[in-house]
Chain A
Amino acid sequence: MQTQYISGSAIILEVLWRFWPVWVALAIVMGASFLYKKKLALYGQLFDSGVGMAGVFICLFWLFTAIFASTISPFDPLGQIPIMKDTLPGAIEPQSGLVYLFGGDKLARDVFSRMVYGSQIVLIIAPAATGFALMVGITLGLPAGYYGGKIDSILSFLANLVLAFPVILLFYLLVTPGIMDTPIPYALAGVFFLFPIIFFCVLFWTRFKNRPDRIYILLGLTLIIGGWIYIGLVFDRDPLKIVHIDPNQLNIFVAVVFASSPGVFRIVRGLTMDIKTRDYVAAAQTRGESPWYIMLWEILPNARGPLIVDACLRIGYTTILLGTLGYFGLGLAPESPDWGTAIKDASRLLRSFIHPALPPTIALMSFVLGLNLLADSLREQSMKD
């Protein structure tokens, strides 16, 4: 049977129509933000420049795409319909009458649905891994910059050690199927995932230690929520079965946190060394505040500007790292719809078919571009103050 195709302009219209939940959500959020931008502090200032708006728009676009993925995509990202193998964009699937908007790949899966579902993987792992890297970097960078001396030398040496590794070599060593049989990924996860709990405990303790009514509630909440997520992630023994992560996803997660936390460490250390010479830190020292109170409640809030910018850039960089992992076929399942894996599969067949390669490349590029634009305009806005 001859495959039926729809025309090029029909493809564009259909794609735009498919994204309708995203447009609705974008219109609401962007409209509301624009109206109330005066009251939204730093976030509101983003709407003063075209670059900032473009950045917010692209990031929100992919965020909503990830949220509404099941509504947007017409097909199952892993489902194969043999008749649609290697079809060009716009081919109509005879059974359901739906269209393979961006064509089919060599395993007869819908390229459009895979691109949409790929955003879910990226938007879960990249920000979460960046968050953990921030926690690790901040918790180690603050004392290194504040105390200096031996602690600083040892931690800096370790950070430089990791930074001297070419990322790709690190991934080849840390993300292999063989390493899953050893306790290394779990040990690393156990160490890294402890940092957020320590961070929040110290954060609350230093501030509220003389107020028993608040401190016990806050510490208890931190320990219960943190411990629950910790057990779910590291041991995969969540009693409620909500927090769950596949062993291979845990492995890439750990590798990405490992690769990017030394960078955060260096930035936090530098900022701390700069800020600790300010007068308000001297004032706090004279008041007799404890060193950790000064680090967490005096220095850290004043370092937030550069850290937010760095976090934006770092999410983009982590997205690139995830793509690299997918491109080399490390860690992620071979049929996983993430963009890196899709680019790898498609780039091998570029001579015969180019259409499966373009959607994931453009998706990845646009998302990272959005984050970079966001970071750039945040930097500009925070410099104005």
Chain B
Amino acid sequence: MFSFIARRIGTILLTMLCLTLVVFFLVNLEPNLKKLAISQTEMHTSAEQLESWLVNHGYRQNFFVRYGQWLGIVPKQPITDPATGKTTQRFSFCNDPAVPTLSGVIEGDFGCSTKFKTTVAAKLFPALGATGILMLCVLGVMVPVSLLVGILAGMREGSRTDRALSVASIASTATPEYVSGVIFTVIFASWLGWLNGSAASASQGITFYNFTLPVITLAIYGIGYIARMTRASMVEVMTQQYIRTARLKGLSFGSVVVKHALRNALIAPFTVIMLQFPWLLTGVVIVEVMFRYQGFGYTLVEAAGNNDIDLLLGCSLVSVFIVLITQLISDVGYAFLNPRIRVQ
């Protein structure tokens, strides 16, 4: 088991290395660098000034040198004035070193956000905290609801409850966040006026009024899928011999479901819930933009829109890490929950 986890962590690190290299390549394409230089300099700068800004700030060094700098295996160079030889910080707003130093991701320095004029860490981690709260609320709604729906549907296969709930789950998987968000806003904010159509005020304090719409919008897309998986798992368990034995020895249907079927039926949904995280990440971006909630997704869109290189790299690192670590947890957790499957 231990060597399995160690090997998986090795793969995760390798994947993260490859992916950041790809992202690094894409954000450093010539048009993107131009865009960055234009947004960082004054209006109406000439092409030469743009070029000299890029050279000064080290964007014209060799690609792999710069990737190494970001990673923290090649020292970061400050701006050197060619006339005097004096060195100055690259970005004064985030304590960049004035002497060549090793300071990259490995050293814990995620770099400098050119859009927000601060360090990436100062921007990214509060945003992650905000998204974490949103995610917790979403999981708190999504998991119980979807398990309940799945169990009720799978308890008696082919019954009217089963058909109705199955069609409802299919409908919910056909409703992406930007569709359900619009529909919920129309119903609850525009017509009924019960809830707030914007979660911008949630950064100050979360209330039922401003936080419900983002949470249910995000939850609804996942509910259908998890419910269907739970139903399939429940249906399979209900056809097993030991369920029939329990029924035949005179136990009531309710206690057979709760005591015998549930435990085994909930193993598969666990994996599915863990594997929902990558989808939730995309959903988070849509929902945060739609409801103007200042979290991780909002930061990612801002970073991508302004080609904020370090911030975007930080965002990709975090999201890739979340995706891979949830996969690992789901594999390990599955082996723990299901004694029939043990990793060699």
Contact = CB atoms under 8 A, between A and B. Distances in A.
A181 interface: yes
Contacts of B251: none
A327 interface: yes
Interface string A152-180: 00000100110111111100111011110
A373 interface: yes
Contacts of A177: 31
Nearest to A353: B190
B230 to A, nearest CB: 16
A373 B166 CA distance: 10
Contacts of B197: 350-351
A340 interface: yes
A173 B304 CA distance: 8
* A contact patch SS: helix
Contacts of B23: 169, 173
Nearest to B305: A172
Contacts of A163: 278, 323
Contacts of A169: 23, 300, 304, 315-316, 319
Contacts of A316: 174
A324 B286 contact: yes
A161 B15 contact: yes
Contacts of A323: 176, 178-179
Contacts of B282: 166-168, 324
Interface string A296-335: 0000000000000000000010001001100110000000
A373 B186 contact: no
B65 interface: no
B212 interface: no
Most chain A CB within a 10 A radius of its CB, from B26, B305, B315, B319: B26
Most chain A CB within a 10 A radius of its CB, from B32, B174, B189, B305: B174
A328 B286 CA distance: 8
Nearest to A340: B178
A381 interface: no
Interface string B163-199: 0001100110111101101110110011000000100
A172 B26 CA distance: 10
Contacts of A142: none
B26 A174 contact: yes
A340 B300 CA distance: 20
A372 interface: yes
Contact of A357 (B11, B176, B182, B323): B182
B179 A178 contact: no
A191 interface: no
A365 interface: yes
B289 to A, nearest CB: 8
A176 to B, nearest CB: 7
Interface in B301-334: 301, 304-305, 315-316, 319-320, 323-324
A273 interface: no
Given A323-B176, A350-B190, A361-B182, A182 B31 contact: yes
A61 B190 CA distance: 30
B30 interface: yes
B246 interface: no
A368 interface: yes
Interface residues of B, number: 49
A320 B286 CA distance: 12
B63 to A, nearest CB: 14
Contacts of A350: 182, 185-186, 189-190, 197
B244 interface: no
A164 B320 contact: yes
A368 B175 CA distance: 8
A305 B99 CA distance: 63
A347 B290 CA distance: 8
A346 to B, nearest CB: 7
B174 A173 contact: no
Interface string B268-310: 0000000000100110011001100000010011001100000
Interface string B11-43: 100010011000100110111101100000000
Contacts of B189: 350
B182 A166 contact: no
A151 interface: no
Most chain A CB within a 10 A radius of its CB, from B34, B173, B189, B289: B173
A358 interface: yes
A343 interface: yes
A328 B289 CA distance: 9
Contacts of B290: 347
A340 B10 CA distance: 40
A340 B323 CA distance: 26
A51 interface: yes
Contact of A361 (B173, B179, B281, B289): B179
A187 interface: no
B167 A343 contact: no
Most chain A CB within a 10 A radius of its CB, from B23, B170, B176, B297: B176
B174 A365 contact: yes
A364 interface: yes
B181 A178 contact: no
B178 A161 contact: no
Nearest to B322: A166
A283 B26 CA distance: 49
B161 to A, nearest CB: 16
A364 B286 CA distance: 16
Given A164-B19, A372-B174, 16 more contacts: A160-B15, A164-B15, A168-B282, A168-B285, A169-B23, A169-B315, A173-B23, A178-B35, A179-B29, A323-B176, A323-B179, A350-B182, A350-B197, A351-B197, A358-B182, A369-B171
Interface of A: 51, 157, 160-161, 163-169, 172-174, 176-179, 181-182, 184, 316, 320, 323-324, 327-328, 340, 343-344, 346-347, 350-351, 354, 357-358, 361, 364-365, 368-369, 371-373, 376
24 contacts: A165-B319, A166-B285, A166-B319, A167-B282, A169-B23, A169-B304, A173-B23, A173-B26, A173-B27, A174-B26, A179-B26, A184-B29, A324-B176, A327-B178, A327-B286, A344-B178, A351-B197, A354-B186, A358-B182, A358-B183, A358-B186, A361-B179, A361-B182, A372-B170
**Top 5 nearest A-B pairs by Cβ distance?**
A178-B31, A172-B304, A369-B174, A368-B174, A173-B26
